[in-house]
Amino acid sequence: MSRNSPNMPTDTTQKTSSKLATLTPLSAKTLVDQVVDAIVEATAMGVFLPGDRIVEAEVARSLNVSRIPVREALRLLESQGVVVSERYRGMRLMSVNIDRLEKSLKVRLALEKLAGGEVINRARVDPSVLAPLEEVLKRMHAAADAGDSFQVARLDTEFHHCLCQLSQNDILVRAWEPLSRQLTIIFGLSTLKKGVKSIVAEHDDVIEAIRRGDIEAFDSLMEVHILDYSRAVDYEKLVEQLRKLESRRKAS
């Protein structure tokens, strides 16, 4: 009688399964994910402004999709704080006010300082761990050279997401990720008032501090990059200016 039952995996099967376990599963974007990306992109580019009502039927018509994926996308964005549901008034884009922004940025700063310390420790042993971060920065430079402000904003978020992932602290990453789409929108509004090349240059300084293993310089740069610059931008006034420009455009 064979020692291997037909229902039991052979040694070869077990070895193959073990090897395959190291592969990263492929993932395709669902229609809902694409709708989410489209709404976030439009918001970062100023098509939707904080406080604007987002009408499910209008979004579905513009994207040439049914209302079902749009409804699911809005529910996902609501769970992440990007849109809010108001009774009898439907879905509205999040407001960007000083108090809300300050709270979000303080949480983000704490998480990214922790991530940066972990990444610096890893890079001291193996500098190649910074390759994914360097690749994102390379794409940021290309987007800035092309004058693509939304792409810079999106890659700005990706840069900081990558930093958190490189910390290898999954709890930290899960705490940071819900902020990501809010941050993309905030960064997108920022690029409307600040040159994209200067934004990318700030990331050059950050990654250079990581390469040097200078935690003190990294923390200082992050405080300026995350807190000081954002505090210097009057988002409420910026949104008001954008609304006036939109009104003039419609009137002309």
**Letter for the amino acid at 103?**
K
Domain count, the chain: 2
Q: Show which of 77, 95, 113 is a domain's final residue.
A: 95
Pair 70, 106 in one domain: no
Cα dihedral 222, 227, 229, 235, rounded to 10, equals 140
111 shares its domain with 229: yes
Q: How far is CA 32 from the centre of its chain?
A: 17
Judgement on whether residues 199 and 108 belong to the same structural domain of the protein: yes
pLDDT along the chain (252 residues), means of 10: 49 48 52 89 80 91 94 91 84 78 87 97 96 97 89 87 96 88 70 72 95 96 82 65 71 73
CATH number at residue 82: 1.10.10.10
| Residue 236 C-alpha from the chain's centroid | 21
DSSP bridge pairs for 92:
53, 84
**29: its two tokens:** 């974007």
113 and 150 assigned to the same domain: yes
Q: What is the pLDDT of residue 94?
A: 80
pLDDT score of 11: 54
- Give the domain CATH number at 211: 1.20.120.530
Instruction: Please check whether residues 103 and 35 belong to one and the same domain.
Output: no
Same domain, 42 and 64: yes
Place of tokens 């008034």: 89
If residue 84 lies in a helix (H) or strand (E), which one and from where to where? strand 83-86
Q: What is the pTM of this model?
A: 0.69
Q: How far is CA 80 from CA 7, 34, 93, 179, 183, in A?
A: 45, 16, 11, 7, 11
Domain that holds residue 63: 31-95
In a domain, 242, yes or no: no
Is residue 109 within 8 Å of residue 223, measured between CB atoms?
yes
Task: Indicate whether 52 and 166 sit together in one domain.
Answer: no
Backbone angles phi, psi at 171, to 5 degrees: -70, -40
115, containing H or E segment: helix 98-125
CA 142, 28, 13 angle in degrees (round to 5)?
Answer: 120
Give the pairing of strands 90-93 and 83-86.
antiparallel
**Do both 116 and 222 map to the same domain?**
yes
Same domain for 119 and 141, yes or no, is yes
Per-residue pLDDT at 170: 95
Same domain, 200 and 91: no
Instruction: For residue 20, tell me if it sits in a domain.
Output: no
Does 134 lie in the same domain as 84? no
Domain assignment present for 176 = yes
